[in-house]
Structure 1
Amino acid sequence: MVDQTVAKYLNELRILTMLRTQGPASRADIARWLGVTPATITRLINSLIDRDLAEESKTAGKTPDGQREPGRPGGRVSLNPSGAFFLGVEIGVGIIRFAVIDLMANVVDSTEITVSRTLSPSEAVAAIADHLNALKKQKLFKSKIMSVGVTVPGIVTSDGFVINLPILGWKSVDLRAELSSAITLPCFVENNANAAAFGAVYTQPSLPSICTIFLKLGTGCGGAAVVNGRPLRGANGTAGEFGHIRLSDQGALCSCGQRGCLESWVNLGALARNYMDTDKLTESQFAALPAEVVHEADAGNAKAIVALESFSHWMGLGIVSLINMFNPSTVILGGVMRPVLEHTIDQIRSAVEAGIISGIPVPDVRLSELGKFECAIGAATIAHHHAFDISRVEMHEHELQL
């Protein structure tokens, strides 16, 4: 039997999750939703208000049909956005991006810094600790940053151990342990595509979340699935390497050592080869490439048109394979290929509709709304989720698992 302390904790999480996903509500509405007495809801709400996690308007409560709530007048309870903050960090190649979200999961601060392209784990941790300390000196964030989420573009286990991050040369790094030794707040480490996928769903609670597929396109092709509001991790936490679905036996050599992977057909290197007949570009050339190809295609450049047609063809094939396997309600596309995705999204949707198994509902194929900070924002939402979301709590045979 769950004791009163645990019951209070779970009910507080339910209230916070309800207010974040459904908006403000009266105390009576919350009591009915939780199935608790007015006295219990009074204690719970007052406790959240005392801790600055919730606030209450002074207007009288109304029932859904517009009538005044029975009993004494009451206000609308809502989250206090500035009651808590969460730092998200994306460790990339030559860059670290930071994003801070508030209790409503809205972005309130974002920035990026340039770092060495051969950044070591200890250097990354030091940069994160320095940024966190700088944030804590700001009046808005002082003592209210609750936890830190960090993403890397590599294979990460569910306990924050980086198995392999070839693009930075990291291998077998206990990144969560290194973070915990330098930062006193709870820290979480996640693959960047998993984080971006989770953030895309978490920040839009109105989206269906039974099953969402996310693809992050850039130097590689990261992937993730969010099922029932949670990342699908697999047995060891490394599921979601969708970029390595084999679509053919030909093609450029993929980063995994195979040929014909989805990644090798739709990443920046593939775009460069189809447009410029080479993938030996500088970092700045790669950064400008998606917009340049789209601009040239609009101007009638045949090579650019072919490059975009190849991209949409292989992208459609890859998404069709994922839909046939996962039956998602939503497929979200993000990453630095945004200009190309915007230009080809209609062709991709048509290819998906024509290619999936007959009878499978066509999912909503859409672009990510989080922009270039999507991984950092996703990391911050993971930190938020661990602190204040009821869906992370499971009960297994009288044991509370967090």
Structure 2
Amino acid sequence: MDRSFLRRFHANSIFHRIRIQPDISQREIIERTHFDKSTVSSIVNEFIERGLVERRAKASASGRGRPTEGLVISPASGLLVGVEVEASKLIYVACGLDGTVLAEQVLPFDGRLDDVEIAITTGIDSVVSLTGSGAKVLGIGVSLPGLVANDGKLVHVPVLGWRDVDILGRLSQRCTAPVYVGNDGKAAAMAEHMFGACVDMDNFIYLFSGSGVGGGLFLDGTVYKGAGGLAGELGHVKIVPQGRFCSCGASGCLAAYLTESALIEEISRLGSVRPTSFAQIIELAEAGEPIVLNVLEHAGEVLGSAISSLINIFNPPLVLLGGDLSAAKPYLSGSVDKALRRLAHPAMYGENIVKFAEPGIGGPRLGGIALALNGVTDIAGSHVLP
């Protein structure tokens, strides 16, 4: 195994353990992670030297004997900023290293490539000022709705029509803090592992929808990237032969049936109502609008078909559905379940395998924060994550 990857994996895992279990001792980290004692000691010492982690006295459970030392995230360590790029807006989140959200902001985005780095960086100072903190920004994570290669190049963003953009280089030139970039689906999967429904899970599949459909394969404790860093484009799994055309240029993709724009087009094609947003689609569904309910039911069938293929290939303990999918749970879950019972191998599918994420916890909203946190704690120094 590549040594830099192994060092990165160890460092991220150790910091994650300290963050979710404050006051944990080095011995307890070794017991929990099964990492070598010298590896844990070396990485913890480096975190302490960098001011990210502190030691403090930890009283024994019995209250007797000498207190041991516990490890905690340093409260003065600094800030992280996450930026989620969507087709028509930029979502900013500022956090401490413990993942506590301190401020959020949403700004409109016109989708222009010419000054994309200006558009992305404009809101960073603003969201930092909203925190009221004078702490240093240690890292900026930018999650992008397209293919991000290992060299930081944005290969293709179908929803915006971008191709071959040195996004890491352009952002790094404008930002004073280190920048970390990654695909939004993989970043959201990392966020679920760090902050959401998949803490302490080493294997799961994450799938979400919004202006696009993305996801991540979290396998053996890390996001699977593939040969060039492009793996996990779950929104472009082909589901319907000769089906609807997708923004990627192909037809029959899952994204062509689940994105906000795809649902709006199908609802307006079948009826006289044209929703203006996904939120309005849900409002119409809650009001019992038959066409909207039928469109969502069909979308659930297509989604269930895609999930069944993922289950049959990967045999995951969990498939987590987030983004707009979680908001549409009441209108998708029935048809998703029917498709899964029909198409997934019964030996691999059980009632607790597919779950809808809790809105606002982990997922796309904190994808940029996950990239930044992973980057700041990445001793190997990679800027393209996961």
* TM-score, normalised relative to structure 2: 0.81
* % same residue: 24
Gaps in structure 2 of 5+ consecutive residues? 1-6
Q: Is the 8 A contact 1:31 1:41 kept in 2?
A: no
Report what 2:140 is aligned to: 148
Task: Tell me what 1:212 maps to.
Answer: 204
User: How many Å separate the matches in 1 of 2:133 and 2:160?
Assistant: 31
Match of 1:272 in 2: 264
Determine whether 1:87 maps to 2:86: no
Distance 1:61 1:36, change over 3 A: farther
Shift of 1:220: 2.9
CA deviation string 1:190-223 (max 9, x = no partner): 1211211221122148645332212221333222
> d(CA) in 1 for partners of 2:210 and 2:93?
20
Match of 1:60 in 2: 59
Q: Pairwise mapping of residues 133-144 of structure 1 onto structure 2 (< 5 A)?
A: 133-134=125-126, 141-144=133-136
Q: Per-residue displacement from partner, 1:126-162 (whole Å, max 9, x unpaired)? A: 2443333345557854343211111221221122211
| Secondary structure of the structure 2 residue equivalent to 1:304 | helix
| Residue equivalent to 1:315 | 303
Matched, 1:306 2:299: no
Equivalent-residue separation in structure 2 for 1:371 and 1:241 (angstroms): 23
Q: How far apart are 1:296 and its partner, in Å? A: 3.2
Contact kept, 8 Å, 1:136 with 1:143, in 2: the verdict is no
| Unpaired runs of at least 5, structure 1 | 1-7, 395-401
CA distance in 2, matches of 1:10, 1:156: 20
CA RMSD of aligned residues (A): 3.8
Letter of the 1:312 partner, please give it: G
Alignment of 1:1-400 (within 5 A): 16-26=15-25, 29=28, 48=48, 51=51, 53-54=53-54, 56=56, 60-62=59-61, 67-68=62-63, 70=65, 72-74=66-68, 76-115=70-109, 117-122=110-115, 124-134=116-126, 141-204=133-196, 207=199, 209-277=201-269, 285-297=276-288, 301-362=289-350, 364-369=353-358, 371=360, 374-388=363-377
The question of whether the paired residues in 2 share the 8 Å contact of 1:215 and 1:334 is answered with yes
What displacement does 1:377 show?
1.1
SS in 1 for 2:276: helix
Structure 2 distance, partners of 1:344, 1:229, is 29
Structure 2 residue matching 1:83: 3-state secondary structure: coil
Alignment TM-score, normalising by the size of structure 1: 0.78
Number of paired residues? 373
Change (3 A) 1:165 1:45: closer
8 Å CA contact 1:290, 1:339 repeated in 2: no
2:3: which partner in 1?
none
The answer to whether the 8 Å contact 1:210/1:228 transfers is yes
- 2:202 touches 2:222 (CA, 8 Å); kept in 1? no
Shift of 1:112: 0.8
**Structure 1 residues 194 and 149: CA distance shift in structure 2, 3 A:** same
Counterpart Cα distance in 1 of 2:312 and 2:60: 47
Q: 1:69 to 1:343 in 2, by over 3 A?
A: farther
- 1:399 paired residue number: none
Following the alignment from structure 1 to structure 2, what is the Cα–Cα distance between the partners of residues 243 and 274? 18
Return the alpha-carbon distance in structure 2 between the equivalents of residues 229 and 127 of structure 1: 34
CA–CA separation in structure 1 for the residues paired with 2:235 and 2:46: 48
Distance in 2 between the 1:153 and 1:96 partners? 11
Return the alpha-carbon distance in structure 2 between the equivalents of residues 13 and 153 of structure 1.
24
Does the CA contact (< 8 Å) of 2:154 and 2:164 recur in 1?
Answer: yes
Q: Secondary structure at the match of 1:248?
A: coil
